[in-house]
Structure 1
């Protein structure tokens, strides 16, 4: 699997020896096992001559239907290809990896630049022949999906997005996480005439995420092309920690919610695609290079936020009691009021004052969970919290905090483009809420 990355590139002609060498270098440097070269403008014997002379060791597929538009190349010793469906805008095939019991479907797209002609592409994608198995869709769609997919030129209209959005709404595939430039094509004009657009994309279905660890597509420019190339990497099988459990308040509306909570001691329900998209698997260093080594990525982010949060410090001096006695002091009644033990009712009030949708900490249980089940567990919760004010000790596990990184931009590439949010356990929040009431007495 180490040499099975996937390439998609609109090369806008493949006659130039310089272009051919650039493609070979990209494939070699990035361990590409299969690639789709789009808009080659080559037909018939010229394709075969090119492959035999320049792409030694590669197999290819072309036909009278897709030639000039899509050229599929792959390493023969790594995989077998079976073409299932082809049109002038779509090449759909089955890919069987050699030596691995794994088969997936690959759809290469070269959308027409005419809106009406492109309608057949969306229809074919919606009805493509495939069983429930991993599916990868990639290529130059020549279409926009969102209003910010173009920079410069005329504004994007609803009509331009309509067909693409309807296909996406079918829920058959979702766009893969992308790292690199937002836009994938430019008209290379000067000044105010310059236009950028996102026309090249990668999509995959749920089964793809089940079969391949942490897939991600990289977008890279090359100076001699007007399109970026898309490089789909499968990621490494490193242990990246366990996604913390989280209780969702919507479970509380279930008619048998109490029975459900007590029968199931641990219920982990999360959206796999969202988890994968949230993984941080690389960063861009000072030399504008992607760093993907897992140990280096962890070390980089860990030390950045450790330094960002600062270090523990202690008071530099002792309290001067004489100085304090010169100012206003509490009466004896006030002092007795301050040391009066908290009650179960005050603990309950503190818990119910916490917003039910506050993000939980490491244990996964937000205030909504405790509110729903207060009649069943409220006494135990109150005893635990009141014990803190008697003993002055809190179990370290209840003081654990998750540092969640929230992206400031669409495609963060380094630590400064994340905002850190500390997510404390609800127990700890309740401790603090009760403690803060002292200052209001």
Structure 2
């Protein structure tokens, strides 16, 4: 676009009542006369649909509203800008039989815009429920290091999310029932899979629960923090097997300081259903709320790389010990499989 070339962009928020929207159609017709020689784009929430296929669900009589909408944009000389993404842009957030979807948001252009930007289009994202509570809570001032502030705000958000889940009616009840069944199953599993005795490295058997726990801790301390980790290794002996030795330039790249873009890229590279820790927040939450939480989360991560300090609640994790099945338990199903395949 040339430096001296102008375009006009009009943002629309249509009234909820049909009679009140008529002022909007009149205003667009007036603007159209002023924009006849200039690329003009009109976009926003028109609060009206152009056709019945833009409504899904039980709705009232919208024929008059649709006719007036089409007549208004036709008189203004506006045409739809090509769209990609979600067809419906609004939902009444109901989980009952009165669930309703509509396409109320769109972008329209005049012929001058089409001639100047023939390949332009817009992308319609998935509609989300608007709720200002999480935003307000996140903006509360918390005194402390960045990582502490993030963890406190995440904890403060949980009651809000719990309240939202309770407001969804039967869905919440089903979730709670499923959680109860899961808790019972896990409790039963813990009882059935409890380790009642263990042999130490010298072959002695311990049955006291405290001694059993001590042996587990000692084993992993020796495994992860024993003398083997302090043994020096001469890298010259590894070079014959190395396919590629990094150059000085590559080594310098590895030593570059972590940037805010690096933090965001690392977060968005994590699959949506993955959780960085046991606090219940998946990476999908951080991606969706990044415009709100991204700045503080990034500051907390960069603070860690600067100070090397990591809060206890951040580095906590959950370990689940899964017993290894015995060979004789597997032999019978495998034998039965071969017998079935032979027709015996």
- TM-score normalised to structure 2 length: 0.35
Higher alpha-carbon Rg: 2
Report which of the two has the higher share of helix.
2
- TM-score normalised to structure 1 length: 0.28
